Chain A
């Protein structure tokens, strides 16, 4: 194989590292994937070029590097299905559009059903998905075995497999490459990516945002988008309002590198396991959420134990696989497990948060609608239902059943 094969997957030039200007038309706070995606579409779809992304650490230093890279759109409710399906369609064109080897692989996502209730709920979800134009199939246990031969479907298994939903267009992408791809694309469109720049205060005059105080000096801004995931509460407090999110640890782990054994993504809501095997060969597994609030980026070992225990039951072949690294991200969870994307009580200040455990897959769609909202001052049709007001109007979008993680 080519020497330095891995490095050669990556582009020889990524981004400048400019000094922050005194003023921008729009500033995105948060250089995670959603922040970069927002800046990308602000420049590409709306022609804004005098914009910056400010990031307290290094871009991607949030959940972008702490997720399990699963991409799918099989959500239950119309609003979510529309949002995530839009994102999936954008993913399908991104490798070409961004001209970057992000290793997007539509290898299929299985959601296992372990009991009659799971089965009914899964079939309901398949039907709902189809009505919304999202590809979905119901597989019985034998078909599951055929699609993913290493799953244990024996009836005496601790978690018997009754069947599974399958979204064939679902899959994974290499998260690190997506950071590089988006960073490069933003930079090429003239976006200033400013790393090591922490926002310390938000300037609000007469109910309108005018700029930011940062660790690298004040930056005036016509518009500001807060795209800071688990740290959003800390930022909105600076602007004088609260969002109904809670920040929790969500842990995941990666194994050592093995020859390919798992050809698709397998998720199980009942036992909180979601797993895939990355291109290099390591198994990437997600765990359940730690119940408490935390900003410490770590959780308890017992959560990992529970999840590995369940994973072992589903995949006996993993018995001698070893954990190379575990990590914890900070997930920002709304009471209805759906995100908030839209306007805020402060004029020209917009917020995009609450993606909980499902943010990676939404990256292109989230950026698309957030850019629209910032550029036009009005939400896009896709994110209108995901407003901050829904908690007052009661039009909640209950997606607690959407992920393999209990919220």
Chain B
């Protein structure tokens, strides 16, 4: 991909150098390793785990099944780091090891810490819903801890071209952030991932404190800090992730998720030379419009739906883009290095094929709400026939899901829902009253055409050994079919037979498709067999797959306990304990900070690391 001047959120034109497999590369402050590699023309990241297929970056989020590498050199190198997350710093070394890491020998010189904290409302995710929830809860008077895994607040808004209150969305984000930072009862932790949800509001977080800095700037600070938080209410605002489509040779470097393509444009100013878009839904047209707006040649939009007539497809046509309804991408071709060279397009159901050259194919098979955190304490999910996605099915005490994670799409709707959820969470913990809270933003009138219920393009010659369902584990349609013909009717057995969905990226781009393919398979053969429903379309089994597999405890195994900084972790309570917690064992200094927002030390700590 190429970098466009003046696009994206990278405003700093200083050049950073790093190495990839020993080759010198350049980047700008704000780049991730993934964006920097794309900007340097590195399309092939490495070979797949079993079949040695070339693989590249698929998207700009943690869902990417291929973007992994060994970061650092020697004794402190770390395997399987997410290249879509690792921020480039001067002198960084990265090695192409995309599916199997190496554990370094020798003494680890990195430092790791632990802290404890208490709050009333913990908001996981700082997109439109999470920001609205955090603001509503904080202004009602609750102590709020807002956590996001990115360096900046905004979530999906960072990767979109969205207007809020007649202004670019980032100005709204900046406003909200300022109001939150001005509120002494609010703590914001960026570069922080919620990795465990326990009973009675025990939440574990992992914060990247200094590992994104050049080694000479870390100055003895911990690389990472584990937080153990006790909260009254957890608000899950973790967004959604796009699903790919399943078709022959769908794994070539250059086949990306549509929102990922959009994200690389808006975050990093990176665009393809010539793109084709393959979609089942209207959302991918946002990528089309944004690419056109950036001056990129969009050769064709391939839409599975016979007659795409929503406002987004209409707008794309008005801008001169050819939209071909009732069509599919049935294969791809590769250039010499194995990366994408073109796509073969044909009418759905067969007919004349056409080869179209492109360097990026942006694919969208719909969106999956990400509510992994809901599953830890027995949360269940159900398949929603309208959304064509899993959504939460039950309510877990002390937890609320909001925004795209709750299957609510659209910025305005997410802000509105987040606001209400924030008020309710605060009220539950004794602050304010949801009924009398400030008015929520009005919901916008969004009309989009329904997505197509479509997963897979079958190979014309029946050879499905290069049709990938799970890139990370190299699971193909051939493997899935073998499993489903063996007597397996349950996705849990499917997963163990093929390893689908068990990868390091938690199978986020693979699991739902695998479940739907299972359902399709049996709907053909045993339409009325109740066991099939149990195995595939009902939540009980499927969610177990999602739930267990998504316990994304990405904690470093390294125990920080014995290496924590003397005088921080244990002697200084980082915030007030819930009402009845008495002051046994705390130092006088600690007791002084034991007053209601009292997260002063927490905030100091968070700022120091920001």
**A: which residues have CB within 8 A of B?**
1-8, 10-17, 57-61, 65, 158, 176, 179-180, 187, 195-196, 253, 255-259, 261, 281, 296, 298, 300-301, 304-305, 308-309, 311-313, 316-327
| CB-based contact A3/B465 at 8 Å | yes
A–B pairs, 13, beta carbons within 8 Å: A5-B474, A13-B485, A58-B541, A257-B100, A258-B101, A259-B103, A300-B198, A311-B557, A320-B79, A320-B110, A322-B80, A323-B555, A325-B551
Question: B588 at the A/B interface (Cβ < 8 Å)?
Answer: no
Contact partners of B107 in chain A: CB under 8 A: 316
**Using an 8 Å CB-CB cutoff, how does the interface string of B92-106 with A read, 1 for contact, 0 for none?**
000000011111110
| CB-based contact A317/B534 at 8 Å | no
Question: B179 at the A/B interface (Cβ < 8 Å)?
Answer: no
Among A158, A176, A255, contact of B557 (Cβ-Cβ < 8 Å): A255
| CB-based contact A258/B492 at 8 Å | no
Among B49, B482, B558, contact of A12 (Cβ-Cβ < 8 Å): B482
Minimal beta-carbon separation of B465 from chain A (angstroms)? 5
| CB-based contact A301/B198 at 8 Å | yes
Interface residues of B in 336-358 (CB under 8 A from A): none
| CB-based contact A258/B475 at 8 Å | no
| CB-based contact A261/B558 at 8 Å | no
Among B377, B475, B490: residue with most chain A CB under 10 A: B490
Question: B50 at the A/B interface (Cβ < 8 Å)?
Answer: yes
| CB-based contact A12/B486 at 8 Å | yes
Measured CB to CB, the nearest residue on chain A to B71 is A320
Minimal beta-carbon separation of A329 from chain B (angstroms)? 12
Measured CB to CB, the nearest residue on chain B to A285 is B557
| CB-based contact B487/A16 at 8 Å | yes
**Using an 8 Å CB-CB cutoff, how does the interface string of B513-529 with A read, 1 for contact, 0 for none?**
00000000000000000
Question: B473 at the A/B interface (Cβ < 8 Å)?
Answer: yes
Among B78, B489, B562, contact of A17 (Cβ-Cβ < 8 Å): B489
| CB-based contact A319/B108 at 8 Å | yes
Question: B497 at the A/B interface (Cβ < 8 Å)?
Answer: yes
Main secondary structure of the interface of B (DSSP, over half): loop
Interface residues of B in 543-567 (CB under 8 A from A): 548-549, 551-559, 561-562
| CB-based contact B100/A10 at 8 Å | no
- A308 and B378 CA atoms in complex are apart in Å by 25
Question: B172 at the A/B interface (Cβ < 8 Å)?
Answer: no
Question: B478 at the A/B interface (Cβ < 8 Å)?
Answer: yes
| CB-based contact B482/A14 at 8 Å | no
Measured CB to CB, the nearest residue on chain A to B204 is A301
Measured CB to CB, the nearest residue on chain B to A10 is B497
**B: which residues have CB within 8 A of A?**
49-52, 76-80, 99-105, 107-108, 110, 196, 198-199, 202, 204, 228, 376-378, 465-466, 473-476, 478-479, 482-483, 485-490, 492-493, 496-499, 504, 506, 530-531, 534-535, 541, 548-549, 551-559, 561-562
Other A-B pairs beyond A14-B488, A57-B541, A312-B559, 14, CB < 8 Å = A3-B50, A8-B479, A17-B531, A60-B493, A187-B487, A196-B531, A196-B534, A258-B100, A301-B204, A305-B559, A320-B103, A320-B557, A322-B555, A327-B548
Among A3, A14, A60, A176, contact of B474 (Cβ-Cβ < 8 Å): A3
Contact partners of A195 in chain B: CB under 8 A: 489-490, 531
Contact partners of B531 in chain A: CB under 8 A: 17, 195-196
| CB-based contact A312/B204 at 8 Å | no
- A325 and B378 CA atoms in complex are apart in Å by 16
- A281 and B504 CA atoms in complex are apart in Å by 12
Contact partners of B498 in chain A: CB under 8 A: 4, 6-7
| CB-based contact A301/B108 at 8 Å | no
| CB-based contact A3/B483 at 8 Å | no
- A305 and B560 CA atoms in complex are apart in Å by 9
- If A6-B50, A259-B100, A322-B557 touch, whether A301 touches B465 (CB-CB below 8 Å) is no
Measured CB to CB, the nearest residue on chain A to B97 is A259
Contact partners of A11 in chain B: CB under 8 A: 486
| CB-based contact B504/A327 at 8 Å | no
- A309 and B559 CA atoms in complex are apart in Å by 5
| CB-based contact A317/B487 at 8 Å | no
- A305 and B204 CA atoms in complex are apart in Å by 11
Minimal beta-carbon separation of B29 from chain A (angstroms)? 26
5 residue pairs, one from A and one from B, having the closest CB atoms: A309-B559, A7-B479, A4-B479, A176-B496, A319-B108
Contact partners of B556 in chain A: CB under 8 A: 319-322
Contact partners of B473 in chain A: CB under 8 A: 6
| CB-based contact A4/B487 at 8 Å | no
| CB-based contact B557/A321 at 8 Å | yes
Contact partners of B376 in chain A: CB under 8 A: 298
Minimal beta-carbon separation of A118 from chain B (angstroms)? 22
- A365 and B413 CA atoms in complex are apart in Å by 59
Among A13, A58, A301, contact of B202 (Cβ-Cβ < 8 Å): A301
Contact partners of B79 in chain A: CB under 8 A: 256, 258, 320-321
Minimal beta-carbon separation of A319 from chain B (angstroms)? 4
Contact partners of B50 in chain A: CB under 8 A: 1-6
Minimal beta-carbon separation of A192 from chain B (angstroms)? 13
- A326 and B198 CA atoms in complex are apart in Å by 12
Measured CB to CB, the nearest residue on chain A to B504 is A256
- A2 and B48 CA atoms in complex are apart in Å by 12
| CB-based contact A7/B497 at 8 Å | yes
Contact partners of B51 in chain A: CB under 8 A: 1, 3
| CB-based contact A4/B482 at 8 Å | yes
- If A6-B498, A7-B497, A323-B557 touch, whether A12 touches B476 (CB-CB below 8 Å) is no
- A259 and B80 CA atoms in complex are apart in Å by 12
Contact partners of A4 in chain B: CB under 8 A: 50, 465, 474-476, 478-479, 482, 498
Contact partners of A259 in chain B: CB under 8 A: 100-103
Contact partners of B102 in chain A: CB under 8 A: 258-259
- If A308-B557, A327-B548 touch, whether A320 touches B77 (CB-CB below 8 Å) is yes
| CB-based contact B478/A3 at 8 Å | yes
- A58 and B473 CA atoms in complex are apart in Å by 23
Contact partners of A5 in chain B: CB under 8 A: 50, 474
Among A301, A305, A319, contact of B561 (Cβ-Cβ < 8 Å): A305
Contact partners of A13 in chain B: CB under 8 A: 485-487
| CB-based contact B504/A324 at 8 Å | yes
- A4 and B493 CA atoms in complex are apart in Å by 16
Contact partners of A158 in chain B: CB under 8 A: 562
Contact partners of B485 in chain A: CB under 8 A: 12-13
Contact partners of B204 in chain A: CB under 8 A: 301
Minimal beta-carbon separation of B563 from chain A (angstroms)? 10
Minimal beta-carbon separation of A198 from chain B (angstroms)? 12
| CB-based contact A6/B198 at 8 Å | no
Contact partners of A7 in chain B: CB under 8 A: 475, 478-479, 482-483, 497-498
Contact partners of B80 in chain A: CB under 8 A: 256-257, 322
Measured CB to CB, the nearest residue on chain A to B561 is A309
- A305 and B498 CA atoms in complex are apart in Å by 31
| CB-based contact A301/B196 at 8 Å | yes
Minimal beta-carbon separation of A26 from chain B (angstroms)? 22
- A1 and B100 CA atoms in complex are apart in Å by 15
| CB-based contact B476/A14 at 8 Å | no
Among B377, B475, B490, B553, contact of A253 (Cβ-Cβ < 8 Å): B553
Minimal beta-carbon separation of B470 from chain A (angstroms)? 10
| CB-based contact B492/A327 at 8 Å | no
- A58 and B79 CA atoms in complex are apart in Å by 35
- A316 and B103 CA atoms in complex are apart in Å by 10
- A198 and B199 CA atoms in complex are apart in Å by 28
Measured CB to CB, the nearest residue on chain B to A262 is B103
Among A6, A261, A311: residue with most chain B CB under 10 A: A6
| CB-based contact A17/B553 at 8 Å | no
- A309 and B562 CA atoms in complex are apart in Å by 9
- A323 and B476 CA atoms in complex are apart in Å by 26
Minimal beta-carbon separation of B233 from chain A (angstroms)? 19
- A117 and B307 CA atoms in complex are apart in Å by 78
| CB-based contact B492/A61 at 8 Å | yes
- A325 and B77 CA atoms in complex are apart in Å by 22
Minimal beta-carbon separation of A174 from chain B (angstroms)? 9
Contact partners of B558 in chain A: CB under 8 A: 312, 318-320
Contact partners of A257 in chain B: CB under 8 A: 49, 80, 99-101, 504
